[in-house]
């Protein structure tokens, strides 16, 4: 008998528990508050993850700079430099994927919030996004950082290989 290793995809319920019409606004408001709180928690996790990646990259740069502090870059052992650079490139790739994941997650969260706002008195996120047109670029700009750092580490490794 074959085991199913992948769980079944999520299927939204076809009907929701009925909410009395006099309570719909209150229920929607409570869902909105919970979702805002969840968005804040995700933002905190995102900032922590970004800090982790920056810390590790800075540590790798420090290893390269301080490993043999009395030698210039061309005198570092080729193997050490290549391993550190390849690890940094791999880390930057994972970092870029992480940013992409959070970008999609934030887009989805704001989409749900905007839908919930349809049942509230004022659509603050909808208005904010309209005022920020074109769309905010922070995550788009931020997603380029791992790419630029990858290119730096690749160039460093290639220079070392070509000079060696």
* pLDDT score at 14: 62
- Give a yes or no: residue 8 inside a domain: no
Evaluate whether 114 touches 123 at the Cβ level (below 8 Å): yes
Omega before 134 within 30 of 0, i.e. cis: yes
Q: What is the mean pLDDT of residues 78-98?
A: 91
Least confident of 10-14, 31-35, 94-98, 101-105: 10-14
Mean pLDDT across the chain, nearest whole number? 82
Task: Show the DSSP H helices in the chain as ranges.
Answer: 24-66, 78-117, 124-131, 138-142, 144-163
The residue whose two tokens read 């004022």 is 122
The whole domain housing 130 covers 25-163
- Give a yes or no: residue 61 inside a domain: yes
CA distance 81 to 56: 16
Evaluate whether 99 touches 139 at the Cβ level (below 8 Å): yes
- Give a yes or no: residue 37 inside a domain: yes
- Give a yes or no: residue 92 inside a domain: yes
CA distance 140 to 142: 5
| pTM of the full structure | 0.75
* pLDDT score at 119: 79
CA distance 74 to 64: 11
- Give a yes or no: residue 75 inside a domain: yes
Over residues 90-141, the pLDDT tens digits come to: 999 999 999 999 989 988 998 888 888 887 888 887 788 788 777 656 667 8
Is the per-residue pLDDT at 22 higher than 80?
no
* pLDDT score at 32: 87
Structural domain count, the chain: 1
Three-point CA angle 26, 29, 35, nearest 5°: 145
Using pLDDT thresholds of 50, 70 and 90, give the confidence band for residue 55.
very high
- Give a yes or no: residue 142 inside a domain: yes
- Give a yes or no: residue 3 inside a domain: no
| DSSP annotation of 17 | -
| DSSP annotation of 8 | P
- Give a yes or no: residue 98 inside a domain: yes
CA distance 41 to 67: 38
């Amino acid at each position: 008998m074959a085991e199913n290793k992948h769980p079944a995809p999520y299927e939204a319920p076809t009907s929701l528990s009925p909410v009395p019409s006099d309570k719909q606004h209150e229920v929607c408001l409570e869902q909105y508050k919970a979702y805002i709180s969840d968005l804040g928690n995700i933002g905190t996790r995102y900032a922590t993850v970004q800090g982790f990646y920056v810390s590790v990259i800075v540590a790798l740069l420090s290893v390269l700079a301080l490993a043999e502090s009395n030698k210039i870059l061309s005198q570092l052992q080729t193997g050490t430099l290549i391993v550190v650079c390849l690890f940094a490139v791999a880390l930057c790739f994972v970092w870029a994927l992480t940013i992409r994941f959070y970008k999609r997650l934030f887009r989805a969260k704001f989409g749900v919030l905007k839908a919930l706002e349809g049942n509230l008195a004022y659509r603050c996120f909808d208005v904010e996004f309209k005022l920020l047109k074109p769309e905010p670029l922070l995550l788009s700009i931020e997603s380029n950082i791992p790419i630029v750092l990858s290119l730096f580490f690749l160039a460093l490794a290639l220079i070392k290989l070509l000079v060696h």
